[in-house]
Amino acid sequence: LSSGLSRVKMKFETILEEINGFGPFQITILVLLSTSRMVLPCHFLLNNFIAAVPPHRCDISMLDDGELFRNLTQEQKLTVSIPVGEDGALKSCEMFAEPQFQLLTNNSSSTELPTVWCQRGWVYDNSTFTSTLATEHHRCTSCAVSRYGRKNLLLVSYISSTVLGFSSAFVNSYTLFAVLRFFTGLGLTGISIISIVLSVEWVDVSHRSAIGVIGSLAWSAGYMLLAGVAFLINDWRTLTMVVTAPLGFAVLTWWWVPESARWLLANGKVERAQFYLDKCAKFNKKEKLSKEKLVVKVQENQAKNYTYFHLIKTQRMRCLTLLLGIVWYGVATTYYGISLNITGFGLNMYLTHFIYGAIEVPAKLTIYCFLNIFGRRKCQAATLLLTGLCIGINIFISKDLWHVRVVVAALGKGLSEASFTTVFLYTTELYPTVIRQNGLGYTSFISRLGVSVAPLILLLEDVWTLLPQIILCSVAIISGLVALMLPETLNVRLPETIDDIEKPRLVNLHIKYIKLINV
């Protein structure tokens, strides 16, 4: 009986206990992956700067043909050529059908005069940006892993992100640029998924939250760094290349990144698993494991190929997959809905972006304490609900009180980041090892849908000023309530097979037997 139970359900954490589940080896993994994780926010939020639309007006140079027009000053030319908006500024995308010289001699309103769309492009204010996608391509927005292992796919993600990221900086076609950025995003998403999975799968139960939070601090560092780099480099091509360059260094560090021994053992690759476990033991100054212990760890279903279909094949997995999809969509939509809105509070866009990044650090340190006190489920639900509350409060605060709105928005931003930090850790703990990377791939896809929808939601401000905030608030609250339906994973060993999800009571019984036998 003891042999059979050990062979089927001996946990990987038992192995980690013997070679130290949180030592120099695990810290080294975090350091090796930190460079690539710092690059992620620089690319995911790059459009805040490279696609920014500076103040602009219609190009009126074509009107210089008339003698009377040529004798006017530049200010007078603008007065007779471009209507003024309600805020007193020149309209961005309209011009008079014909010069209205009477406006120079009286104070008559220009609102009733016939206008047309800009006939010869726009003239941009280059005091902030020398070049963006909008200025170069004349787009006026206001007018219109699993079976191949973790390590190998990480290299593919590194190389593809590097090549495609640099390529996108050199193209002259906006369509080609959009295609290249799309595939760059795929590579970067691979880095995001694999790095968190690798980090968590190498640590023991008691340090998973620490690894998840510490590793995510690299994101916050990159977030803040982007504000400074974008401030210094106001040409979009150069900025794109600069934020992509660190991935070249990440490719070099890849050679020292270990494969997940947990994944290797789950797939019957004992020799390779022992190689990395021996390295871990050496780094952590522990004795090497015997091969017999690793053979015992190998599961009966080790050779089985798992696909995305296994995420919905069984009852509990279907429920888990559905709930996590809703939560991830809510987390991503609210996070990026706040992150992409850096010009709506009256502050300098670089300062707002930096504040949004800086607030994440105390938010992550706070959520680290709460994760180990209240558990994952309550923290996940609370951060989402409070994010929705902050968004809702800002709906009722007057825009004249911009300083209060910024404080509330920054608090909401911190809470949304705490929610993102939690959901990454929570998801890796909920999915079993054999399909963990598939599960993260699925949830990442759902989150990217949320990211894609977020800027479209913000555009609904043209329909009704409060509509984007109402939608984001509702999404955050609904996903927070859904999070309460997920199981708790605090101090629970990582599931390794689908049976660990479908038959949790039987698994816990087996673990108790193993502990008794070992004693």
- For 341-354, b/e burial (b = at least 16 CB within 10 A) is bbebbebebbebbb
CATH architecture assigned to 308-518 = Up-down Bundle (1.20)
Question: HEC profile for 68-101?
Answer: HHHCCCHHHHHHHHCCECCCCCECCCEEECCCCH
Could you give the CA distance from residue 312 to residue 291 in angstroms, rounded to a whole number?
35
Locate 415 and state its tokens. 């809470």
**CA-wise closest residue to 37 among 340, 429, 420, 434:** 420
Q: Which CATH superfamily is domain 10-54+146-302 in?
A: MFS general substrate transporter like domains (1.20.1250.20)
**HEC string of 327-358?**
HHHHHHHHHHHHHCCCCCCCCCHHHHHHHHHH
Alpha-carbon gap, residue 427 to 430, rounded angstroms: 5
What angle separates helix 246-253 from helix 24-44, to the nearest 10 degrees? 150
Residue 248 to residue 161: CA distance in whole angstroms: 10
| Residue 79, phi then psi, degrees to nearest 5 | -60, -45
Angle at 469 between CA 468 and CA 471, to 5 degrees: 65
Q: Residue with structure tokens 């601090």? A: 217
Torsion of CA 371, 354, 401, 458, to 10 degrees: -80
DSSP 459: H
Cβ-count burial 485-516 (b if 16+ within 10 Å, e if not): ebbebbebbbbbbbbbbbeeeebeebbebbee
pLDDT of residue 9: 42
pLDDT at res. 148: 64
Q: Count the alpha carbons within 13 Å of 102 in the hemisphere toward its beta carbon.
A: 6
Helices 24-44 and 150-168 meet at what angle, rounded to 10? 30
Query: Is 321:442 a contact under the CB 8 Å cutoff?
Result: yes
Tens place of pLDDT per residue across the chain (519 aa)? 233 333 334 467 778 888 888 899 999 999 999 999 999 999 988 887 876 667 778 888 766 656 667 778 888 888 888 888 776 778 877 888 888 888 887 666 666 788 888 877 788 777 666 666 656 655 554 454 465 678 888 999 999 999 999 999 999 888 899 899 989 988 998 898 889 888 888 998 888 888 888 888 999 999 999 999 999 998 889 999 999 999 999 999 999 999 988 888 877 788 888 899 999 999 999 988 777 666 655 544 454 678 889 899 999 999 999 999 999 999 999 999 988 887 655 568 888 889 888 988 999 999 999 998 999 999 999 999 999 999 999 888 887 787 888 889 889 999 999 999 999 999 999 999 888 888 988 998 899 899 889 988 988 887 888 899 999 999 999 999 999 999 999 888 888 888 888 876 544 444 444 444 344
Concatenating the DSSP letter of every residue in 257-280 gives PPP-HHHHHHTT-HHHHHHHHHHH
Q: CB atoms < 10 A from the CB of 74, how many?
A: 8
Using CA atoms of 122, 128, 131, 133 in order, give the dihedral in degrees to the nearest 10: -70
pTM of the full structure: 0.76
pLDDT, position 206? 82
Contacts of 36 (CB under 8 A, 6+ apart): 158, 191, 195, 246, 247, 250
Calpha distance 330→447 (Å, rounded): 8
Domain extents in the chain: 10-54+146-302, 308-518
Q: Give the CA distances from residue 370 to residues 262, 289, 383, 476, 489, in Å, rounded to whole numbers and listed in that order.
A: 27, 35, 11, 20, 14
Task: Compute the distance between CA of residue 228 and CA of residue 213 in angstroms, rounded to an integer.
Answer: 24
3-state secondary structure (DSSP) of residue 131: strand
Q: What is the pLDDT of residue 515?
A: 46
Which pLDDT value is given to residue 142? 45
Using the CB atoms, write b or e for 442-454: b if 16+ within 10 Å.
Answer: bbbebbbebbebb
Phi-psi region of 94 (alpha: psi -120 to 50; beta: other; left: phi over 0): beta
* CA 328, chain centre distance (Å): 11
DSSP per-residue letters across 370-421: HHHHH-HHHHHHHHHHHHHHHHHHHHHS-TT-HHHHHHHHHHHHHHHHHHHH
Q: Is the dihedral of CA 116, 117, 121, 123 positive or negative?
A: positive
Q: What whole-number distance in Å separates Cα of residue 168 and Cα of residue 164?
A: 6
The pLDDT value given to residue 122:
80
Structure token pair of residue 318: 């279907």
Query: Tens digits of per-residue pLDDT, 379-395?
Result: 999 999 999 999 999 88
